[in-house]
Amino acid sequence: MIEVNADLVRRLIDSQFPQWKDLAIKPVDKSGHDNRTFRLGSDMTVRLPSHERYASAVEKELLWLPVFKPLLSLPIPAPVAQGEPTDEYPLPWSINRWIEGDTVTHANIRDLNEFANDLAGFLKELEAIDASQGIPAGIQNFHRGGNLAVYDYETRSAIESLTGQFDQMLLTEIWELSLATTYQSAPLWLHGDVAVGNLLVKNGRLCGVIDFGTMGVGDPSSDLVMAWNFLDDVSREIFLSRMNFDEGTVNRGRGWALWKALITYAGNENGSEASEWGNQVIDVITREYKLR
């Protein structure tokens, strides 16, 4: 990981965009993992990949976000400029317009069912955009939109490591069901990382979607994960009904959610916030699966 702080961002701005040298720079409260984000004045953000494996997202967002923006009803990042690599910071970086809003929590939305409907509406708009020239799934977006089987070994290893903590046979059954089908329809655009940190809320409603670094075209099932990561039983049904996918796609979506929950739980210290999150999602997935 590359160490990024406000002093580094100040030097990058002053040397490459001197017209903004008088604007204040400060880190945002929730900067993210793949990128580090800073406010630039009151109207812009500076976004810097934290590792070279995330760097390809910069040009991808600069190319495609302006195409998406007029076709979506919610605000998304609007690129302003691209920063160049330097000896001190060897990756491309970007400047975008600031979007007002707070990352979503159960406390700051007024109605979970409304939120589920709004999120599904946004994703359906994204899927409706012409994907014929889009970027196929692969290493560049961590296989979002591709075949979930790429994470088979990692998932089975995580299940095996949790002896005595969960019903391993049930987890294996859920996982194998998610691998039983593959996407056979025309590729669709997908966000790739529909997570609480990338969904903004204002006045109790979804007001913006950020961080399209793992976008691509292919199987949209990975964009369903909020059904298990955040929604409750009623809002999950509303969300999945509005998304209107077949059972196989829903099963693969559950598989994407299970994979992430398992590796997060198994890969973090017991009792940590990340571990607790993984544990909670695994519980939701297994309970929902048994009630189907």
Query: Which residues face 93 on adjacent strands?
Result: 83
Instruction: Identify whether the C-beta of residue 5 lies closer than 8 Å to the C-beta of residue 46.
Output: no
Nearest to 128 by CA among 174, 70, 178: 70
Burial classification of residue 127, based on how many CB atoms lie within 10 Å of its CB (0-12 exposed, 13-18 middle, 19 or more buried): middle
The CA-based dihedral angle spanning residues 217, 51, 259, 122, taken in that order and rounded to the nearest 10 degrees: -40
Query: Which residues face 82 on adjacent strands?
Result: 94
Burial classification of residue 268, based on how many CB atoms lie within 10 Å of its CB (0-12 exposed, 13-18 middle, 19 or more buried): middle
Per-residue confidence in pLDDT tens, the chain, 292 aa: 788 999 999 999 999 999 999 999 999 876 567 889 999 999 999 999 999 988 989 999 999 999 999 999 999 999 999 999 999 999 999 999 999 999 999 999 999 999 999 999 999 999 999 999 999 999 999 999 999 999 999 999 999 999 888 999 999 999 999 999 999 999 999 999 999 999 999 999 999 999 999 999 999 999 999 999 999 999 999 999 999 999 999 999 999 999 999 999 999 998 999 999 999 999 999 999 999 8
Cα angle value 138/221/225 (rounded, 5°): 105
Give the separation between CA 120 and CA 122, rounded to whole angstroms. Answer: 5
pTM confidence score: 0.94
Instruction: Identify whether the C-beta of residue 183 lies closer than 8 Å to the C-beta of residue 81.
Output: no
Query: Which residues face 201 on adjacent strands?
Result: 102, 206
